Amino acid sequence: MSRIGKLPVSVPSGVQVNVQGNTVSVKGPKGTLSQTIADGITLEMEENKVVVKRSTEQKRHKSLHGLYRSLLANMIKGVSQGYKIEQELVGVGYRASNQGQMLDLVLGHSHHVVFELPTEVKVSTKTERGSNPTIILESHDKQLIGQVAAKIRSLRKPEPYKGKGIKFVGEVLRRKAGKSAAKK
């Protein structure tokens, strides 16, 4: 049996899980999410826990068992607590500002990069003297916030020599020595 799939998902107070056919919807204080579940996977409600079960021992059902348990756990955590991703801009002259859902980035190009975010993702920017500008993304949908963060990072990936670019806060970059190290 799947080690991840067999673990029950606890439902905190204030969160409602509704299963209709092969669709599960989770509603909480942060928002509502829904997911379609593949055939062969079933959800059973027990008190304040949800158990994901599979119908057969086929390889396909085994792989989907842990997947849907993780997706359900992410949905429940998202609508109850939410997700937050912080990215920092490393580089001289790199700036970030936002007006509503529009993110305006200065990344060393000849023009400003204007990025429009989905309504489910809340964005804020922080610029303090002596530290790098920071972009803070918050949402209840883990997949959407991760996709938006990856898209923003792809505008200027961190380079390995000086580390300039958009990186996640706390991310450790693999750095290269450069030309001066080869002369010794």
Q: What is the DSSP string of 108-139?
A: SSSS-EEEEPPTTSEEEEE--TTS--EEEEEE
Q: What is the CA radius of gyration of the chain?
A: 21
Domain that holds residue 21: 9-80
At residue 14, φ and ψ (nearest 5 deg) are 95, -5
Three-state DSSP class for residue 40: coil
Co-location of 94 and 155 in the same domain: yes
Co-location of 159 and 132 in the same domain: yes
Q: What is the pLDDT of residues 42-92, one digit of tens each?
A: 999 888 999 999 988 888 998 899 999 999 999 999 999 999 999 999 999
Supply the pTM of this predicted model.
0.88
- Tell me if 178 is assigned to some domain: no
Q: What is the pLDDT of residues 139-173, one digit of tens each?
A: 999 999 999 999 999 999 999 999 899 999 998 98
Domain count, the chain: 2
Please state at what angle helix 59-80 crosses helix 142-154, rounded to 10 degrees. 90
Co-location of 94 and 147 in the same domain: yes
Q: Return the H-helix or E-strand segment holding 97.
A: strand 95-99
- Tell me if 4 is assigned to some domain: no
Co-location of 36 and 107 in the same domain: no
What's the pLDDT score for residue 89? 95
